[in-house]
């Protein structure tokens, strides 16, 4: 019998190396073509990876924005997922201001202009939600300046100001000129990364703030999910758990990389691993629904509050039926 050929679009994170080097093999009967497709690069017809999956169904399996996925499921768009979450970030590390500003805590952002990639990206969703529910700073009282188009249409909440401001690469200059007061991004603009333009994180001690957040909630916040073409799972329902098993195998392999003190180019890479294991002793990358339920439900609450979805729904609605017991 001929093998079924499937494409999987993912980023080349360390936890995904086993897919690219063949250490993890697909289930019997599957010829898996693993494609390195970045989140914001490798554009095709002006669309990046998430848009190519959502609007064109270009890939069979795809690393996908969690916030966009929540919006798509609430609108019954043709996409589904398995409870695998290959990208996670704390919001606190992604909040940047100018070094000479007097902005040092979330309440200082009230009435300010804050730039985002788009209003609905997962980091934007998380950061705005954390401002309101964790720091008692209403995100509605901030002007949001966005650099990219939204992938799913939504109705802006009454009174909320969202302004398109153009190229993300210019945010360092806009910050320096005072045209924006902050930006929330997982990838600072090139001028900031190079040191040409200056920026600092909002929190004076971001690590301690993230540790506090982690110990309060017990999770490392989800950014991405693994999406799958729904027609594929309808015809091959066994694939849902097979995909989880593949990522579980890749996770186990990638965790072993850091046993070698010189696996990473970072001179103190092994020290960082040991410190993280001491400070964050639990599994930061759990697979399955049960171990991620609280995290998912919080994102649903944030999305509803921000008018990205029109109703709160159960976490079970998000995933293939075959994975609901995971």
**Residue of 295 and 166 predicted with greater confidence:** 295
- Does the pLDDT of residue 3 top 80, yes or no? yes
- Does the pLDDT of residue 183 top 80, yes or no? yes
Model pLDDT, residue 129: 98
46 plus 129 within the same structural domain: no
173 plus 236 within the same structural domain: no
Tokens linked to 65 = 């924005």
Instruction: Report the half-sphere exposure of 7 (CA within 13 A, side-chain side).
Output: 12
CA distances from 146 to 27, 113, 168 (A): 42, 10, 8
Question: Of 217, 244, 272, which closes a domain?
Answer: 217
116 plus 149 within the same structural domain: yes
Q: What is the residue-averaged pLDDT of the chain? A: 94
Model pLDDT, residue 168: 74
Taking the complete model, does pTM exceed 0.75, yes or no?
Answer: yes
228 plus 85 within the same structural domain: yes
172 plus 242 within the same structural domain: no
Identify the band that residue 41 occupies on the pLDDT scale cut at 50, 70 and 90. low
Q: Give pLDDT tens digits for 186-232.
A: 988 888 888 899 999 999 999 999 999 999 999 999 999 999 999 99
15 plus 67 within the same structural domain: yes
203 plus 100 within the same structural domain: yes
CA distances from 270 to 249, 254, 259, 276, 313 (A): 22, 14, 7, 10, 42
228 plus 146 within the same structural domain: no
- Does the pLDDT of residue 311 top 60, yes or no? yes
Q: How many domains in the chain?
A: 2
Q: CATH code at 85?
A: 3.40.190.10
Rounded to the nearest angstrom, the gap between the alpha carbon of residue 155 and the centroid of all alpha carbons in its chain is 22
Of the listed ranges 24-38, 81-95, 109-123, 287-301, the least confidently predicted one is 24-38
Identify the band that residue 314 occupies on the pLDDT scale cut at 50, 70 and 90. very high
Model pLDDT, residue 134: 98
Identify the band that residue 46 occupies on the pLDDT scale cut at 50, 70 and 90. low
57 plus 153 within the same structural domain: no
**Mean pLDDT along residues 71-99:** 97
209 plus 96 within the same structural domain: yes
Question: Whole domain around residue 300: which residue ranges?
Answer: 4-89+221-323
Tokens linked to 123 = 């980091």
- Does the pLDDT of residue 243 top 90, yes or no? yes
- Does the pLDDT of residue 43 top 80, yes or no? no
Of the listed ranges 41-55, 170-184, 215-229, the least confidently predicted one is 41-55
Q: Are strands 95-97 and 182-184 parallel, antiparallel or unpaired?
A: antiparallel
Model pLDDT, residue 35: 95
Residues 263 and 28: their CA atoms lie apart, in Å, by 31
Identify the band that residue 154 occupies on the pLDDT scale cut at 50, 70 and 90. very high
- Does the pLDDT of residue 254 top 60, yes or no? yes
Percent over 90 (pLDDT), the chain: 86
Q: Give pLDDT tens digits for 157-175.
A: 999 999 999 777 789 999 9
Span between the terminal Cα atoms of the chain, in Å: 31
Tokens linked to 182 = 């902050």
157 plus 259 within the same structural domain: no
Identify the band that residue 86 occupies on the pLDDT scale cut at 50, 70 and 90. very high
Q: Give pLDDT tens digits for 108-152.
A: 999 999 999 999 999 999 999 999 999 999 999 999 999 988 999
Model pLDDT, residue 40: 59
Question: Of 175, 197, 217, which closes a domain?
Answer: 217
Question: Of 174, 202, 217, which closes a domain?
Answer: 217
Q: Give pLDDT tens digits for 9-34.
A: 999 999 999 999 999 999 999 999 99
111 plus 170 within the same structural domain: yes
> What are the φ and ψ backbone dihedral angles of 80, each rounded to 5 degrees?
-140, 180
């Amino acid at each position: 019998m001929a093998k079924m050929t499937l494409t999987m679009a993912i980023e080349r994170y360390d936890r995904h190396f086993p897919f690219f080097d063949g250490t993890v093999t697909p289930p019997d009967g599957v010829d898996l073509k693993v494609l390195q497709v970045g989140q914001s690069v490798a554009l095709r017809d002006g669309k990046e990876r998430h848009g190519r999956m959502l609007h064109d169904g270009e890939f069979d399996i795809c690393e996908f924005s969690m916030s966009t996925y929540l919006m798509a499921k609430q609108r019954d768009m043709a996409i589904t997922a398995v409870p695998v979450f290959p990208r996670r970030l704390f919001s606190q590390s992604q909040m940047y201001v100018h070094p000479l500003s007097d902005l040092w805590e979330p309440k200082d952002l009230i009435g300010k202009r804050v730039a985002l990639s788009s209003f609905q990206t997962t980091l934007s969703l998380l950061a705005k939600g954390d401002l309101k529910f964790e720091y008692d700073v209403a995100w509605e009282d901030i002007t949001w300046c966005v650099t990219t188009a939204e992938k799913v249409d939504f109705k802006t909440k009454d009174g909320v100001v969202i302004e398109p401001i153009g190229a993300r690469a210019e945010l360092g200059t806009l910050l320096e000129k005072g045209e924006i007061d902050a930006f929330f991004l997982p990838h600072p603009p090139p001028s900031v990364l190079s040191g040409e333009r200056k920026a600092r994180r909002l929190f004076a001690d971001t690590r301690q703030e993230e540790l506090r957040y982690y110990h309060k909630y017990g999770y490392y916040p989800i950014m991405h999910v693994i999406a799958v073409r729904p027609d594929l799972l309808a015809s091959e329902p066994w694939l849902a758990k097979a995909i989880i098993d593949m990522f579980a195998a890749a996770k186990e392999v990638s965790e072993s990389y850091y046993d070698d003190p010189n696996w990473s180019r970072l001179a103190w890479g092994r020290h960082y691993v040991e410190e993280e294991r001491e400070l964050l002793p639990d599994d930061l990358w759990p697979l399955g629904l049960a171990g991620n339920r609280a995290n998912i439900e919080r994102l649903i609450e944030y999305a509803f509050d921000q008018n990205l979805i029109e109703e709160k729904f159960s976490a079970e609605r998000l995933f293939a039926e075959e994975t609901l017991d995971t």
